[in-house]
Every structure is written in C-alpha cells, then in structure tokens.
Structure 1
C-alpha cells in the first residue's frame, strides 16, 4: 500500500494520537510540578493547562479507538472536538506566554495576602526565603513576615524574598507550558485534516461498493 492510502493514513493517525498522549501527559506533569512546588498555585491559568492536558489525553484515546474502527460518526466527533481543543489550547498557550511579570506579581501577591501564617512559614522554610516583596505597598507586611520567618537563611542573614523566587519559578513554568502547548496546538490542525482524509477513504478489506 503506497503512502497516502488507507493503511498509511491509519498508521499516521495512530502515530499522531500517540504523540498527543505524550503531549497531554507532559502538560499535566509540568503544570502539576508548578502547582506542587507551591509558588504558582494562585495563577488559575495553570489549572487551565491541566484541563487542556486531560482533554488532549482523552482525545488521544478516542483517536486511537476511531483509527482502529474507522467509525464514521466517531471520526466526525473526533475532528470536531480536536478542533475545539486546538482553539482552547492555543488561547491558553498564548496567555501563558503573554502574562507579564507585573501581572504574575499581582496574582502571587494576592495569594500571599490570603495565606495563613502557618502556610507562609511553611513556604518560607521550603524555599529558604523570608517575606514576599519589599515594596512600598507591602513594607508593613514584609517586616511582619521577616519577624515571623523561621527559614534557615534568617540565621545566616542571607535571605532572598520569596516573591523573587516565586516569580522566577512561575515565569519558567509559564514559558515551558506556553511553548509546548503552542507548538503542539498546530499539530492538532494537521490531525483534523488527517482524520477527515482518513474518514473519506475506503477500507480495502471491506465491500468495495460500500460507502465509507
């Protein structure tokens, strides 16, 4: 069977959905790493990335099933859902790349303000830092956090502010998520085209007069 025929399209769709499974797992893993680190949990876009990863994983499973069965209705819904996932993933990826450091700082500062004292101290010990950001707007809170800080760096008097460390980490996570998501979002357009092409082809093992 020459490339471009039924078998080639089927194998290509199989391979593409295996890649989608890996991408979905990668998005979930990186986003979970970002949330588990405890510094970007307030950025709700991370939750959106996890949702995209789960959807991509489910779509990949559906794609593998439809590729093996060549079911017309399932292929149609697969193309439709894959296109919707492309739109959502493209938007979330662009948001990850577009969010500025100032916006990240505001979001993280809001989260820091709502944290309890125990949570702040636990995070300070985990990151080995004290306080959030030493700015005019939060100087009173910063001094309060410094006095209550129990991190090891306070003994050495070489503490960095937690805000700086959190911003560095959140920026790294968002760039990775945005870059990976944006790159692979365009492969989903190829997946829609490939599924459409595969759907309109006839299975050589079936009745040649049957409409597929």
Structure 2
C-alpha cells in the first residue's frame, strides 16, 4: 500500500540520500574552487562549505530518524527543514524584488572593491575588458591580448558586412522566390 509505513520510510531515506549527494557536491565544488583559485574570496568558499556541511548534518539526522523511526529526531528534522524553507522563501522574495539598477550597483561596487589582480584574472577567465567600455585599459591588462578581442572584431565585422548586404525577403516581396 502506497503511503504506508514502509513507503514513507523509503521515501525519507531516498530524500536524505539525495540531500547527502547534494551536500557532497557543494563541499566538492568549494574545494575545487579553492584549489583552482578562480574564486579567491574566502567568505564565499567558506559559505558554500558551511552550507554543504550543514546540509550533510541535516541529512544524517533525517536518515537516522527515518531508519530508527525516532520521533524526536524526526520532529527536529521537520523544524530545521521548515526554518530552511522560511529562509529560502525570504531570500527568493528579496531577490525577485531587487531591481536591475540595484543589481548593477552591487556588481559595480564589487568590481571597484577588488584588487587589480582579481580584475585581471576575471578578465582572462571571462575574456572581457573591464566592467564598462570606459575602463577597458585601467586594470593593467591590454584588451588586445585577450582572445575575444582578436576574434570578436573579425567575426562581428564579417557578419555585419554580410547582413548589411543581404536583402530582407519579407519586405522586398521576394519571400516566395527563395530570396533570389
């Protein structure tokens, strides 16, 4: 019978094993970023690691409560999940309520506060020159050294030239002739 004792127990076990897998992925991603040096901000890596460890602890509590049918641990597990839901819901509402201008201001504030080494590594990683066009050469990296600088002007120019010389089949009345 679905929805009975064994079905509920097995479902809780599966859910908590999935939580464990996600927690190991979070911890592994934090370790990978720490080793690779792409994200050099220690609080971000520490926060990801802390979330992974917290999720691992909660999943162990839920798994133990489900396997032993321990009422107190299952109650604490439910309370923790409810608190996590409230926090996630609040953060989601705040993120949805943030305007584009606020997001741009946050990005600019972060860009202005980091060191030139971080800016140069971000420019190399993302193949970009500065945050805005005005500050392309202020970080110490020449834009013409990036791969995107070399290919974008060539490809963009060729595509723009080709597009400019093409006939619009909808407005020219040649749509039925295959554009000829």
Fold match by TM threshold 0.5: yes
Give secondary structure in 2 for the equivalent of 1:145.
Answer: coil
CA distance in 1, matches of 2:62, 2:125: 42
Match of 1:119 in 2: 118
Match of 1:58 in 2: 57
More moved, 87-96 vs 73-82: 87-96
TM-score, structure 1 length as denominator? 0.53
2:141 to 144, 149, 170: 149
Structure 1 residues 25 and 126, CA gap change in structure 2 (3 angstroms): same
Aligned 8 A contact 2:129 2:137 in 1 = no
- Structure 2 gap ranges (5+): 154-180
C-alpha distance after superposition, 1:29-83 (max 9, x if no partner): 77888997549x6xx7x98776555433321111111111111211111111111
CA distance in 1, matches of 2:30, 2:94: 14
Match of 1:198 in 2: none
CA distance in 2, matches of 1:100, 1:72: 44
Q: 1:1-212 residue pairs with structure 2 within 5 A?
A: 2-25=1-24, 37-38=38-39, 52-134=51-133, 139=134, 142=135, 145=138, 148-151=140-143, 152-153=145-146, 156=150
Higher RCO (CA 8 Å, separation ≥ 6 residues): 1
TM-score, structure 2 length as denominator? 0.60
- Structure 1 gap ranges (5+): 160-212
Root-mean-square deviation over aligned CA pairs:
4.0
Higher Rg: 2
Give secondary structure in 1 for the equivalent of 2:138.
Answer: helix
Residues paired across the two proteins, number: 149
